[in-house]
């Protein structure tokens, strides 16, 4: 497994791969890797000849007072895990490589970035889109792989690729969970032992809401139930039952339902979601 820190060295490697007509998958990460990330690497391995993982803690998606400075930086462990997972190369750029003087990004995320997570983190999706676009510009992969836990982020990335006519296939992997149902996240490392014992209740609340919906409870009554249940254990940011295909209100034509939520447990922000068909 090769580890590269400059665009020049990376593109030299990519040139060699492509001279052999090998397809490339990109798995963008911010480090602090866990089994959820590694599932994306295995998906990439299964769908292309070469897998490139990026590790870049992107400052443009963090707002004032957020956890950029304290975000887990575990590069040695990350590289060991990626080697065991048979990634072919890892790109670990500094910010001057990602955003050199004179480089600009003018894509506007639009209204879809102003709902759900975008209400409390209005900077977030523009920053994510910027980093993903830049990586795609550098690597020019055939495939890029993302997780579904950050579903709004995935939705916006897909929209950006369509809007900008970027010829990259997006693959997504379902949320990977701990044995007790907690969605895997780098930020789970922030949880105290007491908070960690409480955290799986979030997934159980979403599962009960899914069962309620399939038992013909109304969306509004379920929304009230979800908010009440969440507030017993967490600080609610949002919890919504929406059309998974457009992140809008459910209609008679909706077939795939998403329940998305964000909460705080102590100082830790947790997001989760579930999807189902009706």
Tokens in use for 217? Answer: 């409870």
Whole-Å CA distances, 78 to 83, 104, 273: 9, 30, 26
* Separation CA 196–CA 190 (nearest Å): 9
Q: Which of 34, 37, 123, 173 is catalytic?
A: 37
Q: Please state the separation of Cα 262 from the chain's center in Å.
A: 14
Q: Which residues contact 256 (CB under 8 A, 6 or more apart)?
A: 243, 244, 245, 275, 276, 277, 278
Query: In the annotation, is 37 catalytic?
Result: yes
Tokens in use for 237? Answer: 């940011």
Question: For 182, which DSSP code?
Answer: P
Q: Quick check: 129 and 20 in contact, CB under 8 A?
A: no
**Count of CB atoms within 10 A of residue 256's CB?**
12
Phi then psi dihedrals of residue 268, to 5 deg: -100, 130
* Separation CA 25–CA 46 (nearest Å): 10
Q: Please state the separation of Cα 25 from the chain's center in Å.
A: 16
**Count of CB atoms within 10 A of residue 114's CB?**
12
Give the active site residues.
37
């Amino acid at each position: 497994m090769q580890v590269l820190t400059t665009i020049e060295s990376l593109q030299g490697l990519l040139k060699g791969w492509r001279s052999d007509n090998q397809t490339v998958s990109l798995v963008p990460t911010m480090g602090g890797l866990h089994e959820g990330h590694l599932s994306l690497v295995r998906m990439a391995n299964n769908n292309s000849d070469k897998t490139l993982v990026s590790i870049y803690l992107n400052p443009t998606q963090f707002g004032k007072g957020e956890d950029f400075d304290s975000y887990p930086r575990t590069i040695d462990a990350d590289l060991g895990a990626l080697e065991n997972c048979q990634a072919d190369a890892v790109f670990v750029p500094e910010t001057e490589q990602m955003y050199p003087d004179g480089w600009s990004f003018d894509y506007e995320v639009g209204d879809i970035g102003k709902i759900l997570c975008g209400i409390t983190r209005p900077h977030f999706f523009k920053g994510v889109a910027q980093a993903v676009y830049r990586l795609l510009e550098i690597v020019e992969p055939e495939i890029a792989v993302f997780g579904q836990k950050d579903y709004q982020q995935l939705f916006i990335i897909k929209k950006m690729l369509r809007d900008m006519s970027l010829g990259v296939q997006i693959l997504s992997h379902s949320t990977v969970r701990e044995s007790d149902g907690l969605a895997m996240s780098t930020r789970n490392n922030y949880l105290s032992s007491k908070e960690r014992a409480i955290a799986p209740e979030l997934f159980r609340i979403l599962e009960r809401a899914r069962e309620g919906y399939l038992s013909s409870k109304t969306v509004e009554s379920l929304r009230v139930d979800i908010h009440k249940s969440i507030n017993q254990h967490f600080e609610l940011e949002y919890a919504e039952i929406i059309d998974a295909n457009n992140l809008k209100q459910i209609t008679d034509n909706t077939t795939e339902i998403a329940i998305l939520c964000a909460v705080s447990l102590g100082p830790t922000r947790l997001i989760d979601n579930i999807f189902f068909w009706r």
